[in-house]
Amino acid sequence: MAEETIFSKIIRREIPADILYQDELVTAFRDISPQAPTHVLIVPNHLIPTVNDVKASDEKALGRMVTVAAKLAEEAGIAKDGYRLIMNCNQHAGQEVFHIHMHLVGGEPLGPLLAKKQSV
């Protein structure tokens, strides 16, 4: 797995991003290809390639990701109506950047989580 990602560069502010929150554990920024009116990525500041690579020592950063998501949802005015938090793990789930990240998505009805497959 990669030791450097585009997210690492955003965290270090080496490439531009619309950063909404940053502390010693996590960074949150707007997705460059939003899938809803509110679409924010929340990432740990240290590289964890996939959820499969999470260790007990990462629990504080992962907990912070959730509390930051709730704070940003409140600030965006979407907390009351609802929002979705999504983490993808590996290829079948659609993970594209191998630096774990949580998608905060909302601002409109999102529909079903997964489309039902048609029987043949």
Phi, psi of 10 (to 5 degrees): -65, -45
In a domain, 118, yes or no: no
In a domain, 112, yes or no: no
End-to-end CA distance of the chain: 38
In a domain, 73, yes or no: yes
In a domain, 19, yes or no: yes
In a domain, 113, yes or no: no
The pLDDT score that the predictor gives to residue 1 is 47
Look up the domain containing 21 and give its range: 6-106
In a domain, 88, yes or no: yes
Stretch (H or E) spanning 86: strand 83-86
The pLDDT score that the predictor gives to residue 3 is 75
Give the CATH number, domain containing residue 31.
Answer: 3.30.428.10
- Measured CA to CA in angstroms, residue 20 lies from 43, 49, 72, 92 at distances of 12, 22, 8, 29
Q: Which residue has the tokens 């409109």?
A: 108
pTM of the model: 0.91
The count of structural domains within the chain is 1
> How do residues 59-72 score in pLDDT, each as one tens digit?
999 999 999 999 99
3-state percent helix, strand, coil for the chain, nearest multiple of 5: 30, 20, 50
- The active-site residue out of 39, 46, 92, 101 is 101
Query: Is residue 101 among the annotated active site residues?
Result: yes
In a domain, 20, yes or no: yes
> How do residues 36-53 score in pLDDT, each as one tens digit?
999 999 999 999 999 999
In a domain, 82, yes or no: yes
